[in-house]
Amino acid sequence: MHEPAILVTGGAGYIGSHVVKQLGRSGRRLVVLDNLSTGFPDAVLHGELVVGDTGDMDLVRELLVRHRVRAVLHFAAHIVVPESVRDPLKYYRNNTCNTRNLLACCAAAGVEHFIFSSTAAVYGIPQETFIDEDAPTAPINPYGASKLMSEWMLRDLAAASQLRYVILRYFNVAGADPEGEIGQRTPEATHLIKVACEAAVGRRPGVEIFGTDYPTPDGTCIRDYIHVDDLAAAHLQALAHLEGGGASTILNCGYGHGYSVREVLAAVERVSGRPLNIRETGRRPGDPPALTADSRRIREVLGWRPRHDDLEFIVRTALDWERALARKQAAEG
Ligand code: UFG
């Protein structure tokens, strides 16, 4: 009989695929469940890919039992904040209802460990710029609310059962696999580093700065950018924590310091060796001036240490990926 598998939902997506790569390398048996709405089958470098929906309870039940799953990593979600404002029920269905159904299947199948992809968006517009996990949660968009509701379901289910969890609240995830095999492929990207790298390789005419009148040193917003590989490593350590008997916990994922929009764009110009066509425009609604993670807890609880806390490295891997993507798409016509 096979060893129990780990179920990874959304493993064909940006962050999920990086975690699948690291888990596969570490020799774990994986089953990836992804409906390919935004993921890509060739991003799944290890394990068995099952194309299907997290909300399909019959399918999920069958997978959990057949593969004797003890641990679930749940990435599958919609993640575009402005879209969540336009179409909130899409987010509550896919992010919240589907998580509820997944949790129901996990409870029935005796799954012991659950790692959940949450977001700094649960904090809304925080009082402090340096945020710890006990800061009040007050999401300002349906995306953040849909994730926070999932956190609550997980917390409450864990209190009523044997399930233990780690909730990881991601700050600004960026960069790509340093080996160049996988990266972010979102067709209509909105995230700053991805957008700037697309501009740097000529796939967009330029990049806009949304607001230059914030109360920050250079007037643009500050964010805590974390390399996707460091984030992926945090998932493996979170799993080891749970498998070693560790308690349920919520952990911020960020480096604990940030960069302004202007600093990010300057880094993209340095790394690419070319000036960007930059246009300064007004503020984007809902952007807090500065968001940086207090990351002491993840360092203490998991012993997590970033390997790529270096903006230029983040940008270089993102840019290399963007170039590879442009070549691939040119070759495909
Ligand atoms: N920005 C620009 N121009 C762009 C894109 C972004 O100036 O073309 C600015 C934004 O206004 C913001 C900063 O760059 O100040 C970062 O914006 P992103 O869109 O890259 O990321 P966000 O900080 O808005 O969002 C991230 C995650 C979300 C999560 C949120 C939590 O991507 O999933 O943090 O605060 F909800």
Indicate the average pLDDT of the chain.
96
- The DSSP code for 180 is S
Residue 35 Cβ inside 6 Å of ligand 1? The answer reads no
* pLDDT band at 220; cut points 50, 70, 90: very high
- Ligand 1, atom 15, lies closest to the CA of 221
| 123 and 201 inside one domain | no
**CA gap 207, 264 in Å, rounded:** 12
| 147 and 283 inside one domain | no
pLDDT at 286 over 80: no
183 belongs to a structural domain: no
Over residues 1-39, the pLDDT tens digits come to 678 999 999 999 999 999 999 999 999 999 999 999 999
Average pLDDT over residues 287-298: 93
| 202 and 116 inside one domain | no
| 217 and 317 inside one domain | yes
Domain that includes residue 155, residue range:
6-174+225-253
Rounded distance from Cα 123 to ligand 1 centre (Å)? 14
- Return the residue matching tokens 């006990």: 134
Over residues 61-78, the pLDDT tens digits come to 999 999 999 999 999 999
Number of domains in the chain: 2
Over residues 171-185, the pLDDT tens digits come to 999 999 999 999 999
Residue 207 Cβ inside 6 Å of ligand 1? The answer reads yes
- Ligand 1, atom 19, lies closest to the CA of 191
- Closest Cα partner for 315 from 196, 206, 201, 218? 196
Residue 262 Cβ inside 6 Å of ligand 1? The answer reads no
Residue 226 Cβ inside 6 Å of ligand 1? The answer reads no
Give the list of residues 6+ apart from residue 189 with CB closer than 8 angstroms, or none.
Answer: 195, 198
**CA gap 276, 265 in Å, rounded:** 8
Q: Compute CA distances 306 → 25, 117, 295, whole Å.
A: 19, 18, 11
User: Does the active-site annotation cover 143?
Assistant: yes
- Ligand 1, atom 30, lies closest to the CA of 121
Residue that terminates a domain, selected from 253, 272, 300:
253
180 belongs to a structural domain: no
